[in-house]
Every structure is written in C-alpha cells, then in structure tokens.
C-alpha cells in the first residue's frame, strides 16, 4: 500500500493500493494511444489545455494546498504559493512553448535546410514529495506542450497529491475534447519503476531526487539508450562578502533555510561568510532564526512546519550531532522536540569547517550552517569543495565582481544579491553529482524533443 502519514500528528492519513502489473501496462498503452493523436495537435490546442489546467488549479487552490499540508507538512501559506507557481508554469509554456519550438533555418548546400523539434512519445517523470505540484508541472507542462504524453511516478508518501494532479488533467482534457491519458498517475512502489523504464514505449525519463536514485535511473536509462534529465541533491553555497548588505542577505538566506522546513534542493546549505563580518552576520542571523514560529502547518501564522517523515528527521539529527561532535558549535536548536509530529527545530550551526558532516552532506531541514572564509578567494574555494553543483548565491555590493566570480562557481545556477529560486522563464539544473540536463525556460522544453534536421533539395552551388 501507498501510505500517507500526516507529519504534524505522526498518524496515518490515508492509503492507496499500488497498481498491479496489468494496470501499469494498460496505463502505458493508454499513453501511447494518446500520443498518436497528441503529436498531431497544433500549438493552439496544447496551449488551451495547459491554460485550462492552470485555471482549474487556481479554482481548487484551497483543497490542493491542504493536500500538501496533510501529506508532507508544508505550511499552508507556502502550499497556496506552490499551487500558484505550478499554475504559472503551465501558463508559461502555454504562452511561450510554440516560440521555443519554432523551426530554425540553417544555411547549407540545400535549397532550404532547417531544424524542427518533434515530440518523442511517452515520458516518465519520477518525482519527490517536497514540492508535489510544482515539480509535477515543471516536468509535465513543457513535455506536453512539445507534444509528448506523461506518466507520473510520484513519491509514495504523497499519493493524494499525485492523483489530484492527474485528475485535473483528465477533467480538463475531457471538457475540451483532447485525448485522455496525456498525464497519468502511476501509484506504484519504487521497485516497480524499473519495469516502466524498460518498457519499449517509454521514450525518456525525468527524475528529481537524490544522487543515489539519479545514479540508478541514469544507469538503467543509459543501458537502454533512453535520454534522461536528472535534478538531484545539492550542498548549495552562499558567499557573503564584507561589502554585502548583511540585512538583505540574512533575510533571503533565512527564507531559503526555512521554506518547506528547509526541505528544498536549491536551498542555501552552506553560508560562507568573509571573516571581517562573520561575527556580525552570526549575531544577526541568530536573532532572525530565533524569532521564527514552528507549529501546526494548517495555521497561517506558522513559518516552519514538520519534517516530512520520521526517518528524514532522524537523519537530520544525526548530521547535527556529528557536526557538533566534530567541533561545530550549535547556537540554536539541535534537539528533537518532545511532542507529537516529526518536528525539528530551526538550528544554527557555526564555525563549521569543510570536513564536518553538515558541510560534506546535504542537509535537508531547517539547519543553517555557517562557515568562515579568510578571503573572497578562500570563500570561492570552499564553495567549490563539494561533489554537488546545483545552485549558489553571491552577496556583495560589487556586482561586476560577482558576475566575474559566477563563471568560476561550479553550479548550474548562480544568483547575485537575491534568493535562489526556480522560475519557469529560466533554465534550472545542476552539474557534478547534482545531475544533468535542464528543466524550465527554453532549454527545458528541448530536453524531450527530436531535434530533426531537414535538407530540401536540389543541392545548390556555393
């Protein structure tokens, strides 16, 4: 069974039976049948579908947000924001997908030669629990706008969220008369995924998850010569230099550390602060973190909700305790609360060095890890001293300097004097153990298309 546990109470919320093998096969066959028609649809029809999906999500925002809050503990105000952002993603590709996929003429010895972008077929999306609606639309909106169909294997712990997403596509599709099966939910266990990837009809895979899961999926997809996009974990650095606006940096970095209780791949994980402002930064950050309210995620006043699962909280606590044992100092939090639910307090670890656990591993929770850099060059060295390369930020009054430094940071995304975030208009993805390929923006929609060259004769003389 796929069991959802309410992380606020620690009690089971509901359970869903997983699909059996024949049901999975039927879903894939339905996806193939839908693709035969959908690949011939025009951009106007595809755009209409995505716009109606966005509209329906906004109409049902209250219920959809509450599903997230119930199943994975996202504070309700953040859940509202996620529904809005997912709808925005659908709208973005509805409005810009055709332009992104416009054929490109290229000079050659042909009378006319060009490249066009054609859909591949059914695409499998393997998604995590931490942003159930946003990640689903980030995967499906560009794929569907490009003419593909989608099979969604969502995390086992958010089964109602997953079904709600598929139901919206089915409901909208029926109303406007497009093929059923464009976006299907596959409520299956992890061990059932391999058979889906191996199925001949499945043409590509997109995975958002851990580096370990990415390695397994990438190996399998490569063995079958199927393209894959991987958005994996990160240990994202934020470089705070002596000339930075510390108040602005602390406000943005606080949000980054506590949004979704710190359970975000692109959250700032290592705050690397130049020595001359280190003490001032720590003092101000401590005051800001200490003022945050942790509690019932259904309460609009709550700023920090619970960790999604007990095992995740236990792993987080292990990282904190090991870091303290290795010489890091805990100025705030660091102890599991003695009350129901999977809460972990906002925690501030300072004087952390690169070999300590909270620096070596990704911390997926409301843990601020502060590290001291002796110079800007030292800060850069520390930022790149990681197997990950997802995102980073630089805080300084010298924007030109920051832009020059951005090219030296080993990450797929760099933000200067702002909050690191994903945006439907801009490509997002990582390097090194943070994955490969890009989602969002014009680059994201190109991941699952056939870039087909067309040469039209007769040959012309140069």
Q: Which residues are catalytic?
A: 231, 265
201: enclosing H helix or E strand:
none
- Give the whole-angstrom CA distance, residue 228 versus residue 437: 8
> For the chain, give me the number of helices (H) and strands (E)?
15, 18
- Give the whole-angstrom CA distance, residue 414 versus residue 420: 8
Cβ distance 357 to 338 under 8 Å? no
- Give the whole-angstrom CA distance, residue 74 versus residue 67: 9
For 49-118, the DSSP string reads: HHHHHHHHHHHTHHHHHHHHHHHH---HHHHHHHHHHHHHHHHHHHHHHHHHT--EE--SSSSEEEEEEE
Nearest in space to 49 (alpha carbons), one of 144, 163, 151: 144
237: enclosing H helix or E strand:
strand 237-240
Residue 414's beta-bridge partner residues? 392
CB atoms within 10 A of CB 66: 17
Helix (H, G, I), strand (E, B) or coil at 168: helix
């Amino acid at each position: 069974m796929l069991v959802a546990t309410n992380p606020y109470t620690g009690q089971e919320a509901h359970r869903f039976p997983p699909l059996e093998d024949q049901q999975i096969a039927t879903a894939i066959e339905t996806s193939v049948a839908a693709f035969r028609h959908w690949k011939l649809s025009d951009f106007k029809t595809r755009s209409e579908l995505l716009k109606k999906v966005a509209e329906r999500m906004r109409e049902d925002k209250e219920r959809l947000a509450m599903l997230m809050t119930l199943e994975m503990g996202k504070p309700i105000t953040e859940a509202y924001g996620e529904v809005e952002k997912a709808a925005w993603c659908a709208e973005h590709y509805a409005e810009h997908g055709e332009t992104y996929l416009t054929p490109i003429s290229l000079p050659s010895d042909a009378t006319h030669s060009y490249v066009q972008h054609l859909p591949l077929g059914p695409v499998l999306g393997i998604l995590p629990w931490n942003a159930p609606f946003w990640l689903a639309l980030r995967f499906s909106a560009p794929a569907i706008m490009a003419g593909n169909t989608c099979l969604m294997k969502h995390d086992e712990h958010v089964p109602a969220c997953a079904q709600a997403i598929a139901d919206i596509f089915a409901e909208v599709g029926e109303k406007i008369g497009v093929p059923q099966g464009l976006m299907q939910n596959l409520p299956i266990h992890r061990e059932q995924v391999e058979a889906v990837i191996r199925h001949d009809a499945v043409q590509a895979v997109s995975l958002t998850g851990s580096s370990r899961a990415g390695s397994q999926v990438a190996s399998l997809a490569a063995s079958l010569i199927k393209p894959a996009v991987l958005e994996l974990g990160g240990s994202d650095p934020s470089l705070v230099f002596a000339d930075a606006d510390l108040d602005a940096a602390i406000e943005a970095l606080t949000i980054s550390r506590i949004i979704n209780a710190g359970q975000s791949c692109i959250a700032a994980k290592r705050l690397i602060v130049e020595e001359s402002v280190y003490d001032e930064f720590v003092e101000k950050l401590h005051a800001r973190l200490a003022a945050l309210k942790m509690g019932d995620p259904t309460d609009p006043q709550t700023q920090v909700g619970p960790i999604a699962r007990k095992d995740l909280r236990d792993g987080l606590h292990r990282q904190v305790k090991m870091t303290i044992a290795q010489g890091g100092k805990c100025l705030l939090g660091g102890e599991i609360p003695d009350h129901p639910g999977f809460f972990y307090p906002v925690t501030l670890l300072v004087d952390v060095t690169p070999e300590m656990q909270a620096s070596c591993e990704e911390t997926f929770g409301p843990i601020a890890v502060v590290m001291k850099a002796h110079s800007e060059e030292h800060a850069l060295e520390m930022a790149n001293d990681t197997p990950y390369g997802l995102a980073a930020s630089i805080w300084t009054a010298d924007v030109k300097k920051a832009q020059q430094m951005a090219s030296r940071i080993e990450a797929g995304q760099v933000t200067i004097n702002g909050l690191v975030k994903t945006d439907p208009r801009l490509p997002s993805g990582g390097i090194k153990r943070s994955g490969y390929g890009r989602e969002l923006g014009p680059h994201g929609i190109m991941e699952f298309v056939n870039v087909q060259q067309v040469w039209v004769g007769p040959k012309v003389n140069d």
